Structure 1
């Protein structure tokens, strides 16, 4: 009986937000896409709460003293100088090769659903060549299932054999679109950092970091695999912050914590 209970326990399907992006079936990916709108509403509420806290500036001494007159000179409620919030800009740079494509597609659609939280969103994708896909992601919410296929068909993402080329793709981004990154821009790089033995081009990542407000790398692989095979994850992690992001649960936590407000 104990053996049957163990089998039954491990046979229970994980909750959608705990499904590993890299091993998700087509059915599970479809189920994940259906969570985008409710998840985006939840994350928007969290981001708005963070924005409200961060826009509270230093104590305004004059207003605090004036307010204290109604309480006999005791400043019970300090008044603050409120900073005018400026919506941040987001740039996504996404690996669309192989099994990481499902993770990238989901994250693109989620950030697009959060578009009201940002002043500008630009999205770039690559396999062994980089191209801007902002317009495709903007239109992709109407047919999210086929977003990945449309990007591969309509954008110049593949030049050679369809294996990811991080070094070349990063070089192409910095050569052609580095002006998309500025002091108000947070850059999210999405990918497993597996270079197929090629040059990881750390200098390109340094160029991006030097211009951006923040750069974060979201890696859908388990952290214990970052130093295996052709992974350059630890090399990139020496330049920018890299975060394990294998599930929707982890992604939601990271978006709330990392995205600027």
Structure 2
């Protein structure tokens, strides 16, 4: 006879096995999602992550998040993308998000906004609210009651709508006073204290981030994870298009300069050491092979070219491509030890040498200041302020052609949009013929070349032009093309 406990044990084992399978499926799906976004996760990283999950408290999401980040991520600049993916694959459980806090409602059953704003003040001012779950419940209440609306596709949630109703920025003084435990006039003074106000601003920022995350979770439940991840998960810094980057994106992208510069410097140094032997001289090798019956046993090489090349950069600094030009200039200056000299020419409609503005220091703040100074003092916009590549090329050929030598390498940075003006491609040909290497780096998508006022193909017939619309493409092009 089968004991009455057997079915129970079998059921528990089956349930346990099913639970493990769900965890494994979630982890592997999470990792595949990260890989699809450009984050490198090797098999050993996946194994380490799985082992970490066997010892971590899976109900402690922050410990789980940090444990997975430590085993999966190799680049800290990818953390934002990792965190957003984590929120979608390992969402906070529904039970922990129930808005159990009782607040006043009107006759129609709607939440009293003033009561919620007071609850926001009290919760953000209490450091223990994060640990005991009150903050999560507040966020759930705000999204459920203030952010929900009916769209053409059905139930939807809006961060903007929720935060507009709460308007936490107007509560900063009250939150600061509550943080200091102030009441009455003392409370008013506490609310103006700079340290308290900064703490209150930080708290409202955390609230907005939490509301944004909760909104994405709820939208993922309604629309599905894949649909939400298309807009909710940020691109890796190296994959953000220069043309679509906002100021926050540019800050993220500039953080990649030093790591990329170190990688490129090592690649260029490797190529330089390899090139010390110079290329094989075919004619000399064949002559030497006559003594061995035509078998080229002894390879003869050309004489190596000593010294580092000079780099010349001509960059469009008009509004449409200024972010790309500034980023590339910073990257070039981080690599300047790989060249005997670096000279910079800038233009909007008129070209001018601006090397002196960048010769000292290249950290982020200094470079931004020097870029601003250059834009205001250099003679780069003497006509109507619109990009004019033809006028620039003719001016460079007329006034700066003698600065180029056979040791020079030339980079032209710009989208080749000439505002339907004369291209003066003959001047570009003169410039190209004076240098050892010449390349044009275009930050626009290749499929958009030659549309509208673009003269990309016209210039591309005279010089090698490459698409460099993001940091990843720019790094690969520079690594492959820059001479050593």
Q: So what's the TM-score if we normalise by structure 2?
A: 0.48
CA distance in 2, matches of 1:181, 1:81: 24
For the 8 Å contact 1:133–1:155, the answer to whether it is kept is yes
Question: For 1:143-168, what per-residue CA distance to the aligned partner results, in whole angstroms no more than 9, with x for missing partners?
Answer: 22334322210111111221011111
Q: Who is 2:367 aligned against?
A: 144
- Point out which structure has higher relative CO (alpha carbons under 8 A, 6+ apart): 1
**How far did 1:260 drift?**
0.2
Residues 1:54 and 2:275 aligned together: yes
CA distance in 2, matches of 1:151, 1:87: 27
Q: Who is 1:242 aligned against?
A: 465
Residues 1:91 and 2:326 aligned together: no
CA distance in 2, matches of 1:222, 1:240: 18
Q: Who is 1:174 aligned against?
A: 397
CA distance in 1, matches of 2:302, 2:389: 45
1:116-155 equivalences under 5 Å are 116-139=337-360, 141-142=362-363, 143-155=366-378
Residues 1:9 and 2:9 aligned together: no
Q: Who is 1:75 aligned against?
A: none
**How far did 1:140 drift?**
5.8
CA-based RMSD of the aligned residues comes to: 2.0
For the 8 Å contact 1:90–1:121, the answer to whether it is kept is yes
**How far did 1:82 drift?**
7.8
Counting matched residue pairs gives: 243
Residues 1:202 and 2:422 aligned together: no
Q: Who is 1:252 aligned against?
A: 475
Q: So what's the TM-score if we normalise by structure 1?
A: 0.87
**4+ residue stretches of structure 1 with deviation over 4 A?**
78-82
CA distance in 2, matches of 1:44, 1:249: 15
Uncovered stretches (5+) of structure 1, i.e. residues with no partner: 60-77
Query: Which of 2, 24, 28 pairs up with 2:245?
Result: 24
Question: For 1:57-101, what per-residue CA distance to the aligned partner results, in whole angstroms no more than 9, with x for missing partners?
Answer: 478xxxxxxxxxxxxxxxxxx998983632011100001111201
Higher-helix-fraction structure: 2
CA distance in 2, matches of 1:85, 1:24: 41
31-40 vs 213-222, which moves further: 31-40
In structure 2, the CA distance between the partners of 1:54 and 1:130, relative to structure 1 (3 Å rule), is: same
Higher-strand-fraction structure: 1
For the 8 Å contact 2:315–2:347, the answer to whether it is kept is yes
Partner-residue secondary structure (3-state), 2:320: helix
Partner-residue secondary structure (3-state), 2:428: helix
For the 8 Å contact 1:90–1:122, the answer to whether it is kept is yes
**How far did 1:7 drift?**
2.7
